[in-house]
Structure 1
Amino acid sequence: MALVAVLKNYNKSFWTSNTIELFERWAWYGFYLAFPIFLVSSSETGALGFSNGEKGAIMGTGSALLYFLPVITGAIADKVGYKKILLLAFAIYASGFYMINIFNSYALVYFAFVWTCVGGAFFKPIISAMIAKTTNDETASIGFGIFYMMINIGGFIGPFIAGALLKLSYEYVFYMAIAAIGVNVLITMFFFKEPGREKDDSNLFQNIIQAFKNIWITLQNWKFVLFLVIMILFWTAFNQLYYSFGIFVDQWVDTSLVYNGLHAVWPWLAETIGDNGTISAVSMTSMDSFFIIVFQLMVSAFVMRFRPLAAMMGGILVLSGGLGLMFATQSGWLILLGVLIFALGEMGSSPKFTEYVGKIAPADKKALYMGTSFLPIAAAHKLAGWLSGDFYEGISDKYFLLQKEVAKRGLNFPADFSEEFTKNDFFSQAAEKMNMSQVELTNFLWKSYHPSNIWIVFSGIAVSAVVFLWLYDRFVIGKK
């Protein structure tokens, strides 16, 4: 009954904001989890056929801006008004998704994704601010819990549907994202109520300058800065779920056993999300959000007994184990187990990051510290983009490794991929010349070049974050 009583305290603006968040996450993650595969897959499938280096540059730059620009866009929203900025964000989102769908050159796709991320940067500070404005000390804890749940419900539904739509065409994924944003336009126009704002006589330029001054104030605390630098390592490893995992599954993992197991229990679901007896990489990745929806309350109840920093270290260590399993095997079921372990680690560490920043911030500077805590996430996206680019390609990309093998054998192929000679053309012709089926060639490359070794790098980065956090806790925080 206590929970029911608390739920009754939330007003219409609270539920409207949460609904907007759900559809925005639906659109974003439905697109974002398919995006790296769309960028690098063979062009005759409707994808773009870019290199991993190009993919990493596009995603790393745009995503970094998505987390850095709220420093500015938040100040703009406070001055101009939340409703106007929401509608602007959705206009940028929809046009960005449309442009990515129709563009096919590297420069134009790069621009379109950065443009889309600018829309996300306008959106990001508004809804979290609305949750803060529509809750109080008694309702904030459950209120932000509901908000986090909405994020993950949208983060599961979007990719789950995208995985089914990929059977038809990549363009349907973009249409889905645009449609979800369209729903948000209607909700915002007819149901979103502008919150009250404190009178502010300063102009917009002064607000933006003040936002940067606020960041500078927090960066005077060297202990806090050191903590943020360490957390760049965590977020870099964490982001490989989005940057590299889908491509790894798409190129190396046999998901037919997962499809068959699901089909035996729920044929309709397997046939809906499956294609030719396999489960798409996007659907496999979406299970991270599904596991969070199912287990978040239990994990939160377990880790609440630990200090935030200790919970973070434990969570990141668990996450590193899941990350290792996700990239160390070709077994679809073991991959899913890795995603589950990864999700458990994420649930134990990611919320505690926010809690820890709130605890160490001076009472009169909590908002400043919380805003600055996005900086390591922005930096980590840029680093994750680089790591998932040429670095990942040299160790784990199937087509790059095949190029090494055919060069070793003295087989002649065009130097570059094109519409006339795609990645799939290269793979099928190489398999024919090497007297192998495509499955046999994939397994040969797996055994000969060990692309799974990338798990050592990704898990190692996460483990290094744990080690540095322990040293930080022991010698910096523990030092009197």
Structure 2
Amino acid sequence: MSLTSVFKKFPKTFWVANTIELFERWAWYGFFMLFANYLTGSSDAGGLEFTQAQKGMLMGIGTGILYFLPVITGSIADRYGYKKVLFIAFIIYASAFILLPMFDTFTGVFIMYLYLAVGAALFKPVISATIAKTTTDDTASIGFGIFYMMVNIGAFFGPMVTLLFKNSSYDLVFYISAGIVSINFILLLFYKEPDRKPNNDSLGTSISNVFKNIGLVVVDFKFMIFLLIIAGFWTMYNQLFFTLPVFIAQWVDTSIVYDFFNHYLPFFSENYSTHNGQMEAEFITNFDALFIIIFQIIVSTLVMKWKPLRTMMTGFLVCAIGMSLTLFTQNVLFTFAAIYIFAIGEMAGSPKITEYIGRIAPADKKALYMGYSFIPVFLGNVFAGFISGNVYQNMSDKTLFVKQEVAKRGLEISENLSQNEYFNKAAESMNMNPMELTNYLWTSYNPSKIWYIILAIGLFSVVALYFYDRLLLNKKA
């Protein structure tokens, strides 16, 4: 069967849903890739100067709830209709993006982020179900391949657009995301409700059934162990958004990338730099999505015939090595190489998780088990928030280290200064320039040691997955 003939089998709603997904991911990643540095960055650069622990709590719990709620919001969609729920989701999305920059206290931002998470939780199960219902056994593989390609295209272009306006005002980042997601109101006019089994139960009954089903899954000890192991992978994976942008902004010297673009492609150095000879941290991190767009088909083809467990273990191991190495050095070229390694592992291992769940689920409960594969993503976000929050703050936070150094030397510097002003004043008081002080803190406090933690989490997932299959399942897969 040719690719063209497969494409012709997709109904119009399939393409509408994929386009909606593209703009939703564009809007989401347009702000989310920048969110960690927005929360913790210097106030004179538009940041809120939250602590790393506050950032970790907010992003970890908020994003975790986003992935927990779809089991409930999916029932709401089945009860009231996909199109209505999508409309409500986009209203919440757009209003949350507009309201978020109006709050600058931890409580205010946390509440607004939870509000945004509700919109995302309403959206996720509906759009995934639409893709599933508009594909067949013959077209599902290519159909979901197209869907995930749309995810990564949106993930790449979102930050590339919002970063153009970050230096003017962080508020514009959120307003642009509101504008992008609002395009979906127009696309919704062309969205046709796919065939679905009517749910005439009351909303209360539907939600009650959800929690009864959770109980059925929880009592399956082997399955819960598997989900906890996979949570380790997601804990490591989420450092791409929670920790890496902050680490690059605080520690990595990106001047060589700036000089390259300034010489050969000045558009990038003019629009994606911090205007002090350094590139934006999120510009560097965003190469993960670019690598996936370029190499996903190649990697998927290479591992297509591998058994899911072998692929997951290999992918998780490569991911663990790549992500830990991104936090290893101040050399940005090394960081690029590490992000590439991470992306290869992500492309190999992540898609196989769903396939493996389908393989180990009881024959009469496959749909139920697939529906609750959200649990490791939920847990992974919560755990990742702790690692990028309290752990990063104590092991790698430059803001904390410079204050410790100031106190150690008995220097008097006002706490009312912004982070950047405080750092520059500290450098001046120690007869250094900011880069020299950064290098001194790097040598003295060894912030890269957090890479041991990330690698250990990844290796634990790989080893635990191996013994899970050999000892609990007692079979090779």
TM-score range, shorter chain: over 0.9
C-alpha separation between the residues in 2 aligned to 1:51 and 1:177?
25
CA deviations 1:8-43 (Å, max 9, x no partner) are: 111110000000000000000111010110000011
User: Who is 2:65 aligned against?
Assistant: 65
Shift of 1:232: 1.2
Pair 1:255-2:254 in alignment? yes
User: Who is 2:304 aligned against?
Assistant: 304
Pair 1:444-2:440 in alignment? yes
C-alpha separation between the residues in 1 aligned to 2:200 and 2:88?
24
CA deviations 1:361-413 (Å, max 9, x no partner) are: 22332221112110111011111111111211111110101111112111233
- The TM-score with structure 2 as length reference comes to 0.97
How many residues of Structure 1 are paired with residues of Structure 2 in the alignment?
Answer: 475
Shift of 1:269: 3.7
Q: What secondary structure is seen at the aligned counterpart in 2 of 1:367? A: helix
Structure 2: unaligned runs, 5 residues or longer: none
C-alpha separation between the residues in 1 aligned to 2:382 and 2:76?
24
Q: Does the aligned pair in 2 maintain the 1:18–1:150 contact within 8 Å?
A: yes
Shift of 1:459: 1.4
User: Who is 2:468 aligned against?
Assistant: 472
Shift of 1:176: 1.2
Give matches, 1:155-166, under 5 Å.
155-166=155-166
Identity among equivalent pairs (%): 48
User: Who is 1:393 aligned against?
Assistant: 393
Shift of 1:275: 4.0
Q: Does the aligned pair in 2 maintain the 1:164–1:274 contact within 8 Å?
A: no
Give matches, 1:336-351, under 5 Å.
336-351=336-351
C-alpha separation between the residues in 2 aligned to 1:115 and 1:343?
31
Amino acid in the other structure paired with 1:175: Y
Amino acid in the other structure paired with 1:253: V
C-alpha separation between the residues in 2 aligned to 1:89 and 1:395?
39
User: Who is 1:27 aligned against?
Assistant: 27
> CA separation of 1:406/1:272 partners in 2, compared to 1, >3 Å: closer, same or farther?
closer
User: Who is 1:78 aligned against?
Assistant: 78
Pair 1:355-2:351 in alignment? no
Q: What secondary structure is seen at the aligned counterpart in 2 of 1:17? A: helix
Shift of 1:193: 1.2
Q: Does the aligned pair in 2 maintain the 1:233–1:461 contact within 8 Å?
A: yes
User: Who is 2:457 aligned against?
Assistant: 461
C-alpha separation between the residues in 2 aligned to 1:467 and 1:163?
39
Deviates more, 1:199-208 or 1:101-110: 199-208
Amino acid in the other structure paired with 1:402: V
Q: Does the aligned pair in 1 maintain the 2:314–2:345 contact within 8 Å?
A: yes
Amino acid in the other structure paired with 1:217: L
Q: Does the aligned pair in 2 maintain the 1:300–1:347 contact within 8 Å?
A: yes
C-alpha separation between the residues in 1 aligned to 2:135 and 2:209?
26
User: Who is 1:133 aligned against?
Assistant: 133
C-alpha separation between the residues in 2 aligned to 1:98 and 1:456?
39
Q: Does the aligned pair in 1 maintain the 2:30–2:159 contact within 8 Å?
A: yes
User: Who is 1:412 aligned against?
Assistant: 412
RMSD: 1.4
- After TM superposition, what 4+ stretches of structure 1 lie above 4 angstroms from structure 2? none
C-alpha separation between the residues in 1 aligned to 2:394 and 2:274?
29
Q: What secondary structure is seen at the aligned counterpart in 1 of 2:49? A: coil
C-alpha separation between the residues in 2 aligned to 1:19 and 1:370?
24
Shift of 1:131: 0.3
C-alpha separation between the residues in 1 aligned to 2:270 and 2:47?
23
Shift of 1:477: 1.9
Deviates more, 1:267-276 or 1:163-172: 267-276
Q: Does the aligned pair in 2 maintain the 1:39–1:55 contact within 8 Å?
A: yes
C-alpha separation between the residues in 2 aligned to 1:468 and 1:295?
28
C-alpha separation between the residues in 1 aligned to 2:392 and 2:73?
33
Q: Does the aligned pair in 2 maintain the 1:163–1:281 contact within 8 Å?
A: no
Deviates more, 1:434-443 or 1:272-281: 272-281
C-alpha separation between the residues in 2 aligned to 1:429 and 1:260?
27
Amino acid in the other structure paired with 1:452: S
Give matches, 1:318-337, under 5 Å.
318-337=318-337
C-alpha separation between the residues in 2 aligned to 1:444 and 1:147?
46
- The TM-score with structure 1 as length reference comes to 0.96
Q: What secondary structure is seen at the aligned counterpart in 2 of 1:50? A: coil
Give matches, 1:209-224, under 5 Å.
209-224=208-223
CA deviations 1:414-462 (Å, max 9, x no partner) are: 4xx5xx4211121111111111101100010011111011111111111
Q: Does the aligned pair in 1 maintain the 2:329–2:335 contact within 8 Å?
A: yes
Q: What secondary structure is seen at the aligned counterpart in 2 of 1:317? A: helix
C-alpha separation between the residues in 2 aligned to 1:231 and 1:466?
9
Q: What secondary structure is seen at the aligned counterpart in 1 of 2:286? A: helix
C-alpha separation between the residues in 2 aligned to 1:68 and 1:452?
32
> CA separation of 1:265/1:2 partners in 2, compared to 1, >3 Å: closer, same or farther?
farther
Pair 1:89-2:89 in alignment? yes
Give matches, 1:171-250, under 5 Å.
171-188=171-188, 190-250=189-249
Q: Does the aligned pair in 1 maintain the 2:133–2:195 contact within 8 Å?
A: no
Amino acid in the other structure paired with 2:234: W
C-alpha separation between the residues in 1 aligned to 2:61 and 2:457?
20
C-alpha separation between the residues in 2 aligned to 1:438 and 1:198?
62
User: Who is 2:120 aligned against?
Assistant: 120
Shift of 1:201: 2.9
Q: Does the aligned pair in 2 maintain the 1:284–1:336 contact within 8 Å?
A: yes
Deviates more, 1:134-143 or 1:278-287: 278-287
User: Who is 2:370 aligned against?
Assistant: 370
Amino acid in the other structure paired with 2:456: G
C-alpha separation between the residues in 1 aligned to 2:206 and 2:244?
40
User: Who is 2:152 aligned against?
Assistant: 152
Shift of 1:474: 1.8
CA deviations 1:235-272 (Å, max 9, x no partner) are: 11111111000000111111121122234443334433
Q: Does the aligned pair in 1 maintain the 2:17–2:130 contact within 8 Å?
A: yes
Shift of 1:172: 1.5
User: Who is 1:168 aligned against?
Assistant: 168
Amino acid in the other structure paired with 2:325: L
From 397, 418, 424, give the equivalent of 1:428. 424
Shift of 1:82: 0.8
Deviates more, 1:262-271 or 1:273-282: 262-271
CA deviations 1:171-218 (Å, max 9, x no partner) are: 121111001111011111x21112233233311111111112122212
Q: Does the aligned pair in 2 maintain the 1:162–1:282 contact within 8 Å?
A: no
Shift of 1:60: 1.0
Q: Does the aligned pair in 1 maintain the 2:261–2:269 contact within 8 Å?
A: yes
C-alpha separation between the residues in 2 aligned to 1:408 and 1:77?
58
> CA separation of 1:11/1:202 partners in 2, compared to 1, >3 Å: closer, same or farther?
same
C-alpha separation between the residues in 1 aligned to 2:385 and 2:32?
14
Amino acid in the other structure paired with 2:315: G
